[in-house]
Amino acid sequence: MRGLTEANLKTLAGPRSYERGLGYLDAVSGVEVGDGWVTASVNGTERYEVELALDGPGGLSGECDCPYGLEGNFCKHLVALGLTVLAQRESLPQQRKAARGRTQNLEAWLSALPKAELLALLREQIGEDRQLRRRLELRAASARGDFAAVRARIRDLLDIGAYAQYGYVEYADARAFADQAGEAVSAICGLTGSARAGDAITLSREAMRLLGQAVESVDDSDGWLGQVGADLADAHLDACRAARSDPEELARWLVGHALGDLDGLTDIDPLDYEDVLGEEGMAVLRKLAVEAWRGNRRSWAEKHLMERLAKAGGDIDAVIAVHAADLSPNGHTHLVIARELDTARRPDEALRWAERGVGKARDARELSAVDTALVDYLCDRYAQGGRLPDAVALRRDNFGARRTLLAYQQLRAAARAADCWPAEREGALALLRADAGRRQEGWYGGSVLVDALLDDKDVDAAWRAVGEAGAHDRQWLTLADQARATRPADALGVYLRLAEPLTKQTGNAFYEKLVSLLLSIRDCHRLLGTPKDEFTAYVTALRTAQKRKRNLMRLMDEHGL
């Protein structure tokens, strides 16, 4: 019970669902307390069944069959049940004790029943519960070694027909179908446990194929069938270990599966079978993977399998060969190869691959198409190796191709390290001035020239630039903030202009921006030494015009405006 508190309910549900749950307290009915769980019905849009686990391994948790609850959320109906239980917390220990007593009494009664009565009771339940009947039929077929019957039942369990309307299983029925498919996996595991692992291998592979067909017609948004596929893969591996599968046959199947359409559903890793395959099987696996890759070097599946096997075998040259067979035009693959070589402690080769990835683009003056991560990697390597002029040259070319503030900042850092920033800066600003002269009106981000000058804290040059090329409001604000101490009159004009449109907006975000501007305006008046009543008159007029905006008035009060 320690986990069931109002605070925990609010944490699990979130403030919104918790508040909504308060309105459903009168909708809770049929509360049943067990030993560690509580169930009930809650009347909402429909009648929903809810269950709280009070002290499970993960603490307090719950399930509800409402749409929001089926997505795995702790919904308002669970909140309502939790609060209902809390209202009777004093009697809960006694109710749990009574539930334990009922369970013990039931077990004692069942244990004392004659075989005939037990069978009669079981037959009655089988007649009423279709799922129970299916599970027991499957166990019976497995126990008597009826492979054909087990196969037929597994096919039935993986058939969407009972849940599909118009040939498709909707989201609301996906969980039920997944539970049914899970019974097939349990049956296959049971075959392995009863020394029939060979049959389990055959049926698990067939089940993978059937599940792959079914998933195309199921809304598996919550991934239930994905979990069934993963469980099926585990069942196959366990069966292969128990049956001591033929290494060559298993290797051929694994390669075919990894390169087929079902791999994404079961996510089988051939390397997990290394202990089953042994040296002989692994050799066949590698041979088949190489043949498949050579036949289709650009296929993701073939490349991925080859890369996994090469890495597992510590063959870095094979890993590089896989990547080198399909080099991306933007140099990203060159970067991947360089990092692999770094890991293998082959830095000189790594550097050559990185330079090769950048080189063609530099020669063709198309550096803007190159992965910036590759440029960063190469510049870092140049800096580490004391090749500062090379780092500056690459940063210069990168800036010339991209003309962004980030590229400017990177060029500045490299040039300062090489003690040549003044000359590099002049060339970079010349390019940005040329761009600013060609700028089209309405460019939201504003001139990069202005951003660069502001980043350099070159206030006077930035004022000249905004006068010639214009600027975005965010740039004007940054410029005014930087210039306020030395050019308070200019900054004041900017603040007043930016404040005016904010007075026509509503919302706390706008109010906070306006108050920030008002504080800056006040500071400008102080620096200019203007009469105090000038700013006071401005604020008084603003308050009069905006008096209906209570949150704005409160913010102004808090800041002494």
- Residue 407 in this model has a pLDDT that exceeds 70: yes
pLDDT of the residue at 476: 93
Regarding predicted confidence, which is higher, 69 or 378?
Answer: 378
| Residues 6+ positions from 25 with CB-CB distance below 8 Å | 80, 83, 84
CA 147 from centre of chain: 43
Tokens of 398: 């990168």
Per-residue pLDDT band at 251 (split at 50, 70, 90) = very high
**76-81 average pLDDT score:** 93
pLDDT number for residue 72? 79
42 assigned to some structural domain: yes
Domain range holding 494? 484-561
Q: Which residues contact 488 (CB under 8 A, 6 or more apart)?
A: 523, 524, 527, 528
Dist. CA 423–CA 396, nearest whole Å: 11
pLDDT reading at 1 higher than 60? no
Q: Say if 65 falls within a structural domain.
A: yes
Greater pLDDT, 296 or 443 = 296
Residue 71 domain-assigned?
A: yes
Q: Residue 468 corresponds to which tokens in the numbers above?
A: 């010639």
- Domain termination site, one of 93, 112, 131: 112
Output the CA angle 421-426-432, nearest 5 degrees. Answer: 120
The whole model's pTM is what? Answer: 0.66
Quick one: DSSP state of residue 165?
A: B
Q: Which residues pair with 56 in a beta bridge?
A: 59
Q: pLDDT tens digits, residue range 204-243? A: 999 999 999 998 899 988 788 888 999 999 999 999 999 9
Please check whether residue 81 is in contact with residue 17, taking contact to mean a CB–CB distance below 8 angstroms.
no
Average pLDDT in the 525-529 region? 93
Helix (H) or strand (E) holding 41: strand 37-43
418 vs 176: which has the higher pLDDT: 418
- What confidence score (pLDDT) does residue 445 get? 65
| pLDDT for the residue 440 | 43
Report yes or no on 529 lying in a domain.
yes
Number of folded domains that form the chain: 2
The residues pairing with 168 across neighbouring beta strands, listed in sequence order, are 165
Strands 37-43 and 47-56: antiparallel
When pLDDT is cut at 50, 70 and 90, the band that residue 425 belongs to is very high
Residue (of 450, 399, 461) closest to 424 by Cα position: 399
362 or 407, which is more confident: 407
Tell me the average pLDDT across 143-159.
85
- Nearest in space to 246 (alpha carbons), one of 280, 200, 220: 280
Percent of the chain at pLDDT above 70?
A: 97
Query: For residue 2, what pLDDT is reported?
Result: 60
pLDDT, tens digit (0-9, with 9 covering 90-100), for 387-406? 999 999 999 999 999 999 99
Neighbours of 244 (CB within 10 A): 11
* Residue 97, in any domain of the structure: yes
Over residues 8-64, the pLDDT tens digits come to 899 888 988 999 999 899 899 988 888 788 899 998 778 899 999 887 666 788 889
The residue among 7, 46, 32, 29 whose CA lies nearest residue 80 is 29
Q: How confident is the model at residue 140 (pLDDT cuts 50, 70, 90)?
A: confident
> Residue 82 domain-assigned?
yes
pLDDT in tens, 295-349: 888 888 888 889 889 888 888 998 999 899 888 889 999 999 999 999 999 999 9
Predicted local confidence at residue 320, as pLDDT:
92
Q: Above 70 in pLDDT, residue 203?
A: yes
End of a domain among 112, 140, 160?
A: 112
Q: Is residue 87 part of a domain?
A: yes
Looking at the predicted structure, is the pLDDT value of residue 441 above 70? Answer: no
Examine the pLDDT at 377 and tell me if it is beyond 70: yes
Q: Which of 94, 112, 130 finishes a domain?
A: 112
**Residue 54's pLDDT is what?**
80
Does the pLDDT of residue 527 top 50, yes or no?
Answer: yes
**What tens digit of pLDDT does each residue of 65-77 get?**
888 887 778 999 9
Contact between 222 and 70 (Cβ < 8 Å): yes
What is the side-by-side order of every strand in the sheet holding 28-33? 28-33, 37-43, 47-56, 59-64
Residue 291 in any domain: the answer is no
Nearest partner of 33 among 47, 51, 15, judged by Cα = 51
Q: Helices 347-363 and 372-384 meet at what angle, rounded to 10?
A: 130
Tokens of 434: 């040329």
